[in-house]
Amino acid sequence: MAMRLVNKNLVGRCGLYCGACVIYRAHKDSKQLQRKIAEQEKCKPEQIRCEGCQTASTNGWDEKGEEWGKNCKIFKCLEAKG
């Protein structure tokens, strides 16, 4: 039997599987979807980026805090509640 490696960064802090998240999938798989979400969220397409919330801090994934982690409502709520 083959052994499957699990990326623990894709187990969301909220309990959801990040691999099924539209933001994560748009960043990884679809520039078109990334642009569509950016239009809806009134932000730049490059801001629709997620590596999984286990890798994020409250400032986002970069020093400027411009990526999705900083703006994720679930992430903010979980951080606020500890």
| Contact present, 41 and 35 (Cβ < 8 Å) | no
The span from the CA of 52 to the CA of 15, in Å, is: 12
pTM: 0.64
Domain boundaries, the chain: 12-81
Give the residue-averaged pLDDT of 32-61: 79
Q: Token match 């400027």: residue?
A: 64
Predicted confidence (pLDDT) per residue in 47-68, tens digit: 888 777 677 655 545 555 555 6
The share of the chain scoring above pLDDT 70, in percent, equals 71
